[in-house]
Chain A
């Protein structure tokens, strides 16, 4: 035995140094694989939520609710989920690299693998409804606006002619004027004049229904919030089928001029049955 080996063995003996147990290596490997799997799972949930957002976005109402497509897309983009996915891909890469043989794989391959698995698993999770659950659950986080909130906020803009809420009362006057009382999402009551709408539409307005109104907000002397409706649509699931058709009175001579130029009428017509 050489001097060096002699010294080493003496130090090992004196220091009572023992090899670290096998289970520590196994545990470490399992831990990193598990963390990788968790990162991929969360990334997949992010993908499923993104799919939900994109497929449940009110594309059909884009022209009605936004000035430009760019504005619509910017509002719609699921930034939260994109960032979440990016973080999980980075974490997944880090954890995979720390497994026993993970260092052999290049950055590109690991990231591609993570993205691919996230997309495939994300699609499966979307189909079973995980996307909606995730979008809903994270909606309450600070600085976060879920797609449900985004739509509700868009339709809580009476100054720009967009208002949604629940019909709580219907008043039909003898002169043919029909006024709905609508409780908006901020719990404020509005009077909605739907006199310019067709008889069919008026008949479809029922107490308890939630509707989205396009029209003109009006000043009233007594401070009552009111709006002149040019069209309304049912509030609810969108985009598998068009919402309730535009029911504005079609005959020129029967319609007032109040709504002229206010709403994107052609866009609304395209939504109709």
Chain B
């Protein structure tokens, strides 16, 4: 039985355990968002195949969905893990364009005055992308989730399965690393 289109993600997820067709609603809701996300964490031309694998995994793990989490955090977690596993299996490094809009990215991250004042010239999207690709995966993950996907700390904690305190310290170190990369390259 198909759930009503206005039902919450969590309601649909619980229903999809019994009624497979309802899962399609979740796919429709999240396909664009997740495709952008996995491209941002480095999936290249294999992104669409990876997206399908993510949704199939999500279906497979549906009984493991914990209603105390938001469905969004849960499926982002699956997307993240599936993408990272794909890199490890193929032993490839992430590549591709992590962000499309450099201004928006810098505006989001720009509460940190050090980054804003450190830069003498406006950064190109390419420079930001290169900087993001240069920092460690664990830093890149939190930066993308926070400043591009605009998730809250609790959501990032649920996606990456790390304590909120760790999210905060990773972000702090990530911003510093990013600042060093961007200012180092712009000189």
Contacts and interface: CB of A to CB of B under 8 A. Distances in A.
Given A103-B162, A103-B163, A5 B28 contact: yes
Main SS class of interface, A: helix
A12 B56 contact: yes
A9 B63 contact: no
A11 B52 contact: yes
Given A103-B161, A104-B157, A17 B28 contact: no
A20 B61 contact: yes
A2 B35 CA distance: 14
A5 B55 CA distance: 9
Interface residues on A, range: 20 to 34
Interface in B134-165: 157, 161-165
A5 B163 contact: no
Nearest to A7: B52
A107 B31 CA distance: 35
Contacts of B25: 5
By CB atoms of chain B within 10 A, which of A5, A12, A18, A24 has the most?
A: A5
B52 A19 contact: no
Contact of B55 (A8, A18, A21): A8
B164 A104 contact: yes
A17 B59 contact: yes
A6 B27 CA distance: 9
A12 B20 contact: yes
Interface string A14-35: 0101111110110000000000
A19 B166 contact: no
Contact of B64 (A12, A13, A18, A25): A25
A9 B31 contact: no
A148 interface: no
Interface residues of B, number: 27
A147 to B, nearest CB: 40
Interface string B162-187: 11111000000000000000000000
A106 B25 CA distance: 36
B56 to A, nearest CB: 6
Given A2-B31, A8-B23, A100 B161 contact: no
B27 A2 contact: yes
Interface string B7-43: 0000000000100110111011001000000000000
By CB atoms of chain B within 10 A, which of A8, A17, A18 has the most?
A: A8
Contacts of B166: 106
Interface of A: 1-2, 4-9, 11-13, 15, 17-22, 24-25, 100, 103-107
15 contacts: A1-B28, A4-B31, A5-B27, A7-B52, A11-B52, A11-B56, A19-B59, A19-B60, A19-B63, A25-B63, A103-B157, A103-B162, A103-B163, A104-B157, A105-B163
